[in-house]
Amino acid sequence: MTRPLDGILVVSIEQAIAAPYATRLLADLGARVIKVERPDGGDFAREYDKRAREMASHFVWTNRSKESLTLDLKREEGVAVLKRLLKKADVFVQNLAPGAAERLGLGDETLRAENERLITCAISGYGEGGPYGKKKAYDLLIQAEAGFVSVTGSPGQPAKAGISIADIAAGVSAYNTILAALLNRHKTERGDHIEISMLEAMAEWMGYPMYFATDGAPPPPLAGAGHATIFPYGPYRTADGTVIFGLQNDREWAAFCLTVLQREDLAGDARFKGNAGRAAHMDEINEAINGVLSRLTTAEAMARLEKANIGTASLNDMAALWAHPQLAARNRWQEIAIPTGTIPALRPISGAAWQPRLDPVPALGEHTRAILDELGITQEEAVALAASGKDE
């Protein structure tokens, strides 16, 4: 079996989520990913929590199938080892503070002078230059700057996403652009430089609300788990819980009225024709929906919705997602090794002809000795350069 990125070497100086997620996606496709970490604790995401079988949940998610190399990049010797590694690499990813790579002698032009096929990728909060170029950028801050918080939540209660969506946007953008650069390298035989800004990645994902508010028009109203422009769409209370459903067109509206609400009069009411008509009479329609669903159990409501062929969903928590019958039926879970034992991992989407990598999450410095030996560094040099106690 051959994976798409078999034989590709990725070296990454990475912390937190955006860069580690991008490189994990590359590892899923078969790339060899060497994660360069500080000797004194490594990637600080290792210590975010201990919820994933005594390991950090973010770290387990974004760092499987990698090798951990510990180097002290404050020392010239450590930087020299990294440069030796980069001479044979295909991709170099870093999310150091703006300007830090250049100060270490790891600027893209400097590195490509030694390895013209090298693809370099720098991930930062706001991108190089500009008035925000040197600002600190965490996921929450970028969610706010990109306007995401302003369109999420309920009236009077703006909210951030429950996941690191700005980091994920940047990671996916980096992953996609690195793949494009690798394809382009087949044509040019030369590497390239990629600059990923979390703000710009998130701004791309904000396309719908930005266009909705074109030329100073009001932005989408806050709608909680509902939708700012499609109605009815979202969660509704039942006698014993909640159902979530959405309608997309007049055909579904008629079926909903006849089968779920059992109100033929609403199905034929001209005021409710088209999504705009329904949205204009939201309060009246909600009153009718709540009057019916509040008397039904969740199971009864779901049965009516399914009979009407209305799209529905369960309001699952994390335990329900772990136990989701569809994921189990499609064999989407596989155990992977972590330093404290094993843990299930969601199998990445792959082609029919190959299977994704699902290799262990590395302990800090676990591969340092082997990588240094591979570079021809003597044991005496390794003792001085290696990072962790077990390597010394």
Residue 340, CA distances (Å) to 98, 294, 360 in order: 35, 47, 11
Tokens standing for residue 366: 């676990």
Instruction: Supply φ then ψ for residue 244, to 5 degrees.
Output: -125, 130
The CATH number of 233-315 is which of 3.40.50.2020, 2.40.110.10, 3.30.1540.10, 3.30.300.130? 3.30.1540.10
Q: What is the pLDDT along the chain (392 residues), one digit of tens a residue?
A: 799 999 999 999 999 999 999 999 999 999 999 999 999 999 999 999 999 999 999 999 999 999 999 999 999 989 999 999 999 999 999 999 888 999 999 999 999 999 999 999 999 999 988 998 888 888 999 999 999 999 888 788 888 888 999 999 999 999 999 999 999 999 999 999 999 999 999 999 999 899 988 999 888 877 666 666 678 988 999 999 899 999 989 999 999 999 999 999 999 889 999 888 888 888 999 999 999 999 999 999 999 999 999 999 888 889 999 999 999 999 999 999 999 999 999 999 999 999 999 999 999 999 999 999 999 987 677 666 554 434 43
Predicted TM-score of the model (pTM): 0.89
Angle among Cα 199, 200, 204 to the nearest 5 degrees reads 115
Alpha carbon distance, N-terminus to C-terminus of the chain: 37
Give residue 152's pLDDT: 85
- Is the four-CA dihedral 383, 76, 69, 83 of positive or negative sign? negative
In this structure, what is the dihedral angle of CA atoms 325, 327, 328, 332, given to the nearest 10 degrees? 180
- The answer to whether the bond into 232 is cis (omega within 30° of 0) is yes
Tokens, residue 272 = 């409710």
Q: What is the pLDDT of residues 261-287, one digit of tens each?
A: 999 999 988 999 988 888 888 899 999
Domain residue extents for the chain: 9-206+325-391, 233-315
pLDDT of residue 41: 93
Burial 25-47, CB ≥16 within 10 A → b, else e: bbbbbbbbbbbbbbbeebbebbe
Topology of domain 9-206+325-391 in CATH is Rossmann fold (3.40.50)
Structure tokens at 353: 């002809």
Q: Which residues are catalytic?
A: 167
Instruction: Return d(Cα 206, Cα 201) in angstroms, integer.
Output: 9
List pLDDT tens digits, range 77-106. Answer: 899 999 999 999 999 999 998 889 999 999
Domains 9-206+325-391 and 233-315 share a fold: no
Residue with tokens 């396309």: 207
